[in-house]
Structure 1
């Protein structure tokens, strides 16, 4: 049996792709907003973290 056959037997399975799309959109938008709002000093500090000896 194919995997699709198992999914067809689950009632309301069509809602799962919509939930995953909404979660992805919210997460992606949050990351973009954070990246645009973060200050230049914070970005500079983060850039130097791998090079610090501390």
Structure 2
């Protein structure tokens, strides 16, 4: 049944092309961001989860 629905749609071949273009543009934007971001920002983000003096654990006692 689903095959018949997809076969009867006009211009169905355009949707895979649109999906590929959206993925490709996202990938290019991500590469551009990676190569143009300042190294100091990358180092700050790299060490963010492991900064000393800050704990993600709750300080309250369980009851």
Residue 45 of structure 1: aligned partner: 44
Residue 33 of structure 2: aligned partner: 34
CA RMSD after TM alignment: 1.6
What do residues 10-48 of structure 1 show as CA deviations (whole Å, max 9, x unaligned)?
Answer: 111111011001101100000000000011100100101
List structure 1 runs of 4+ shifted beyond 6 angstroms.
Answer: none
CA distance in structure 1 between the aligned counterparts of 2:3 and 2:45, rounded to whole angstroms = 45
Residue 58 of structure 2: aligned partner: none
Larger relative contact order, structure 1 or 2 (CA cutoff 8 Å, min sep 6): 1
Bigger-Rg structure (1/2): 2
Task: Give 1 or 2: higher helix fraction.
Answer: 1
Ranges in structure 1 where 5+ consecutive residues have no aligned partner: none
* Number of positions where the alignment pairs a residue of Structure 1 with one of Structure 2: 53
